[in-house]
Amino acid sequence: MTDRHDLSNLPSYRQPRRSVFSARKIALMASVVAGLGAAVYGYGTSTSPADLFSSPAHAQVNNEVRKVERPVGFADIVERVKPSVISVKVNIKEKVASNDDGDDSSSPFQPGSPMERFFRRFGGPDGFPGLKGGRGRVVQGQGSGFFISADGFAVTNNHVVDGADKVEVTTDDGKTYTAKVIGTDQRTDLALIKVEGGSNFPFAKLADAKPRIGDWVLAVGNPFGLGGTVTAGIVSASGRDIGNGPYDDFIQIDAPVNKGNSGGPAFDTNGEVMGVNTAIYSPSGGSVGIAFSIPASTVKSVVAQLKDKGSVSRGWIGVQIQPVTSDIADSLGMKKAEGALVAEPQASGPAAKAGIESGDVITAVNGESVKDARELARTIGGMAPGATVKLNVLHKGQDKVVNLTLGQLPNTVEAKADTDKDSGKGASRGTDVPKLGMTVAPANSVAGAGKEGVVVTEVDPKSAAADRGFKEGDVILEVGGKSVSTAGEVRDAINTARTDNKNSVLMRVKSGGQSRFVAVPIAKG
C-alpha cells in the first residue's frame, strides 16, 4: 500500500485556490451573458456567437449611414424632361446625273476599265448610285430634336433636315409622326419643324439664365440611332468660335455627344434647355469630351422669327470688319486692343451713308462696349432691320458718335470686286521697300491691278511682309492712314510712323477683292 504524503506540513506549501469559476464570478458572467442576450433580442433572433458580438456594431454603422445625405443623381430631372426629346429621321432623294449619250456619269470605277463597263451596262443594286435612267437613291439621316410647345413645334439643327424630302419623328414612348419643316437658318444651324397628329406633346422650356462655367449639363438625344440616350457633364466654356460663321457663340460642354445627337437639347439642373447640341470636336469620329451647343438666347430669337415668317432677318450696317490686334492698336494709338476695325464700308451700305470710313474702329453700340469684331456682328445681327442705332467710332484718333438706320442682311454673298488674280504677273519688278522686304509698283502700271494704290510684285519669304501674309498681286491702298500710289509714298509713310515712335505701321491691303488692315512691324533707325 502506498503511503500518501501530507504536503500541508511542508514550509513552502500553500493552500490551493478555489476554482476560477467561483460562485461570485459565475454570477458576474451570467449577468453579462444576460445583458448581451437582451441586446441581441432587440436587433434579431439569431443566437450564433458571431451575431452576439457583431449585430450591435452593424446597427450602429447603419444608423450613421442614414444620417449621411445620399449623392444627388439626375433620375428625377431625366424622368421629367426626357419625354420632350424626339428622334428625327429624314429621307433625302439623290438624283443621278447622266451625260448626253445616256450613260451614267457617276460610276465609282475608273472610266474605261472593265468594271466601269460592267457597271455602266448592268447598273448597280437597287438604290445604289449610278443606276441608269436617271434613277437615284434615298439617303437616310438621323438626328435629335425637342418639343417647345404642346401643339407639336420642335427644334432641331438645320443640317439635320436640310434638303429633306420627308421628315419623321419618334417620341420617347415609341410613337412615330410625320413632320414638316417650318423654316431654317443656315447661319445659326437651327431649324423649326411641326409635328402633325397631336396637340398635347410634352415640351421643354428654353432657359432664361446664361449658364456658368462648371454648371451641370445633361445631353439627351439619339446618338448613332440608339434613341433616348442621356449623358451628363459640365459646361466647359462659353463664347466659343469654331469657324462656323460670324455669329458663333457656342457653349462648350463635356457631356458625351456623338453623331445623332445633333439638334438635341442640353438641359440644366432646373430641367430647362440651356442649348442645342450642334457640333463635336472629334479626331476619331466619336466623343472626346468636346461638344458645342447653341445658347438658348440665340435659339429663342431665331425660332421666334422662323415661327412667324419662316425665315430670319438680321440687321446690317454694310461693312467688312476685322479684329483689332495689339499691333493694330499700337499703330492706331489705342490703349487697348478692342473694338471692330472697319476694313472697308460697302458703297451703298448704311455705314458708308453715315460717314464711316476705312480705318475707323467701332467701339460701342447703343452705349454698350464692343469687345471684338465677332461681338459687333452678333450684336447688329440680333437687331431688326430698320432699327436706329448709335455707334461710337474712333475716327483718325478722335471719338465720334454716328447714328444710322440698319439695313437687312442680304441672303446672298455680296459679289466680290472683279480683280485679276494674276495682276502681279507680267509687271515690272517695281521698287524695293527694304525695311519691309517687298517690292511694289504703281497699280496703274500693272495690268488688272486697278488705278489706286501700289501692287506687290515680289515678297522676300523671310521678311516681315511675308510673316504678315503679303503675297504677289496684293494691292496696298493706304499706309499709316494715307493713300499711296508710289513706292516713295510708301517709304515716306513708314518714315513718318518711325518718327512718331510707332512700333508698326498700319496698311490697308486689297487681296482677292477683299480689303483688310495689316499691321507691319517697322525697324528702327
| Nearest alpha-carbon partner for 169 in 139, 137, 138, 201 | 201
The residue ranges of the chain whose pLDDT is under 70 are 1-71, 94-137, 411-435, 523-525
Ramachandran region, residue 508 (left: φ > 0; alpha: ψ -120 to 50; beta: rest): beta
**215 Cα distance to chain centroid:** 17
At residue 299, the 3 state secondary structure works out as helix
| Nearest alpha-carbon partner for 206 in 66, 300, 91 | 300
Catalytic residue among 55, 84, 159, 331: 159
Whether 159 is catalytic is: yes
Whether 189 is catalytic is: yes
Ramachandran region, residue 511 (left: φ > 0; alpha: ψ -120 to 50; beta: rest): beta
Locate all alpha helices (DSSP H) within 91-211, ordered by sequence: 114-122, 158-161
pLDDT at position 432 is: 65
Contact status, residue 226 vs residue 260, Cβ threshold 8 Å: yes
Give the Cα separation of 54 and 323 in Å (integer): 72
Structure confidence by residue, pLDDT tens digits, 178-199 = 999 999 999 899 999 999 888 8
Contact status, residue 157 vs residue 190, Cβ threshold 8 Å: yes
pLDDT at position 430 is: 58
Sequential DSSP letters for 221-242 = E-GGG--SEEEEEEEEEEEE--
- For the chain, the straight-line distance linking the first and the last C-alpha, in angstroms and rounded, comes to 137
70-97 as b/e: b if 16+ CB within 10 A: eeeeeeebbeebbbbbbbbbbebeeebe
pLDDT at position 94 is: 63
Give the Cα separation of 82 and 231 in Å (integer): 12
pLDDT at position 450 is: 77
pLDDT at position 5 is: 45
pLDDT at position 524 is: 60
Its sign, for the CA torsion 309, 315, 320, 325, is: negative
Catalytic residue among 262, 287, 504, 511: 262
| Three cell numbers, residue 499 | 518718327
| Three cell numbers, residue 234 | 459640365
Catalytic residue among 104, 185, 189, 327: 189
Contact status, residue 475 vs residue 444, Cβ threshold 8 Å: no
Whether 58 is catalytic is: no
Give the Cα separation of 234 and 442 in Å (integer): 57
Q: How big, in percent rounded to 5, are the helix, strand and coil portions of the chain?
A: 25, 30, 45
- Helix 49-67 vs helix 23-43: crossing angle, to nearest 10: 50
pLDDT at position 513 is: 75
Give the Cα separation of 475 and 490 in Å (integer): 12
Give the Cα separation of 249 and 378 in Å (integer): 8
